[in-house]
Structure 1
Amino acid sequence: MYRTRLVAAAVLGSAGLAFLAACGDRYTDPGQVRTAPAAGRAVTSAVPAGSRVRLAAGAVEGLGPVLTDQDGRTLYRFAKDGARPSKSTCDGDCAAQWPPLLADGPPQVTGVQEQLIGLMPRADGGTQVTVGGWPVYRYAKDSGPGIALGNGSGGVWTAVAPGDGKAVAQRPSTAVVAAEAGGLGTVLTDQDGMTLYLFAKDGKQPPKSTCDGDCARTWPPLVATGETAVSGVDGKLVGQVLRPDGTRQVTVGGWPVYRYAGDTAPGQATGHGAGGTWFALEPNGCKVPGDRKPTASGTPPSG
């Protein structure tokens, strides 16, 4: 399962603070795409030109962090396959229901451990992507991103966790995940894929939340319940701060983090830039620059 990391202290370690000092207004994508090494096997299949396979961390409401393909669709593994060595036992009618993820070269990856990614030739032709040795598939009944109807199917199909490539066992109670949202690039989301925001009027050294009452109804704080799972984020940046109501709010880079009530589905970031004080966060704990505008439906609120 994805790696979990809990930072209980309100003040971050020196390494985290040094990292925070690098925050600036110039946009950089810390989840820059890199090319995973091939598994040393000949590539025999092809995908349409310009449609190179890409693996990324995503999230599904009610399930949490999952591994996705370049279209944001959940990826699965099949318990009847093999990982050492890699072997697929799903073809014919099975492959029609569970299309294998094929590639004509090493996939691009972001928020995923490169060393887990490989390629294997299929008996029915083509070259299938493997994660942790396991061949990976999509599910025909998943109609788009943020859906994982195939998880647990027949007791043998499970979604793949982005952190370590293992099967997703259960939904974490609280998570901070690096994923793409709102046309802003890679930002931080919660366990349900909802974009996380910082409030510029809060404090980060030490962490302090100034949003409660009506503010907290519009911008619900991400409350920690037990350990906070992280994916695509340095666990040293993730901590907690005690709120006036006695709950513990998750912090990233020292900033208390919130969701926005106006975001109605994963992948939206309509709160970014609100009132010039609310901003989505990059995986390094810095704010996404205010001049980057969300492309999801809806417009930023006035405050």
Structure 2
Amino acid sequence: MKLRNKRHFPATTGLGLSLAAVAAFAVACGGSGGGGGSSASPASGHASAPAAGPSSGGSASAATIGTRSGGAGTYLTGGSGRTVYLWAADKDGRSTCSGGCAAGWPPVTTTGTPKAGPGVAAGRLSTTTRADGSKQITYDGHPLYYFSGDRAAGDTNGQGNDGFGAKWWLVGPDGSRITKAAPSATGGSGSGSGNNGGGYGSGGW
């Protein structure tokens, strides 16, 4: 009887070890599968994070068009109160001023939707795409420009200038060109240089 019991016990022990090994292998496989599944979650969360970036950056860079009153009446202004102009040579809402013209008469550009300041009609504001891909602000269909000869807010040295073959005019809040003469605010840097249009730097603007 004792010999039979001794022969029976090793078989039971061997079976128990085999079952334990199978169970351990199954747990190991299940653990590695679960680990693979959990790694996908952070990846999807990381990919969605940058989506909000571009929209907030664009609106923060939008330019504002305002107004100012002076000797020629009430006219439009751009950044820092700088006077803006239209060019009589432009047609159909598109700019024809480039190269040396654009150096003397820098286009008023924006990287967002332009904003209307007090006295400005938001519905008249829009943009046109220039050859270099930049967005130039238009008002009532007129592309807007600064004049490099203006040195400070309120300067209107470009008024009536005929640089590059056509007149440059101040722009009224109703979108019309203002043809009334305006007193020069800075004397020597006035409109007499307009025939080359590029004789001045940006003046620190």
Return the TM-score normalized by structure 1: 0.41
Counterpart of 1:186 (choices 63, 71, 74) is 74
Residue pair 2:158, 2:194 contacting (<8 A) in 1 also: no
Counterpart in the other structure of 1:260: 147
Distance between the aligned counterparts of 1:172 and 1:180, measured in 2? 26
Compared with structure 1, are the counterparts of its residues 302 and 219 closer, same or farther at alpha carbon in structure 2 (3 Å cutoff)? closer
Distance between the aligned counterparts of 2:183 and 2:102, measured in 1? 22
Counterpart in the other structure of 1:286: 176
Distance between the aligned counterparts of 1:284 and 1:225, measured in 2? 24
Residue pair 1:196, 1:280 contacting (<8 A) in 2 also: yes
Distance between the aligned counterparts of 1:282 and 1:264, measured in 2? 21
Give 1:274's aligned amino acid. N
> Over aligned residues, Cα RMSD in angstroms?
1.6
Distance between the aligned counterparts of 1:295 and 1:217, measured in 2? 21
How much does 1:278 deviate?
0.5
Distance between the aligned counterparts of 1:178 and 1:194, measured in 2? 10
Counterpart in the other structure of 1:226: 112
Structure 2: state its 5+ residue gaps. Answer: 1-59, 196-205
After TM superposition, list the pairs within 5 Å mapping 1:164-179 onto structure 2. 173-179=62-68
How much does 1:185 deviate?
1.8
Give 1:287's aligned amino acid. R
Residue pair 2:61, 2:111 contacting (<8 A) in 1 also: no
After TM superposition, list the pairs within 5 Å mapping 1:15-34 onto structure 2. none
Higher RCO (C-alpha 8 Å, min separation 6): 1
Distance between the aligned counterparts of 1:173 and 1:261, measured in 2? 22
Give 2:168's aligned amino acid. W
Distance between the aligned counterparts of 1:174 and 1:199, measured in 2? 20
SS at match of 2:109: coil
Return the structure number with greater strand share: 1
Counterpart in the other structure of 2:123: 236
Residue pair 2:161, 2:194 contacting (<8 A) in 1 also: yes
After TM superposition, list the pairs within 5 Å mapping 1:104-253 onto structure 2. 173-181=62-70, 183-203=71-91, 206-231=92-117, 232-253=119-140
Distance between the aligned counterparts of 1:296 and 1:229, measured in 2? 27
SS at match of 1:285: coil
How much does 1:191 deviate?
2.4
Cα deviations by residue, 1:151-204 (Å, 9 ceiling, x for unpaired): xxxxxxxxxxxxxxxxxxxx96411101124x222110002100000010011x
Aligned identity (percent) is 34
Give 1:296's aligned amino acid. A
Q: Which has the larger radius of gyration?
A: 2
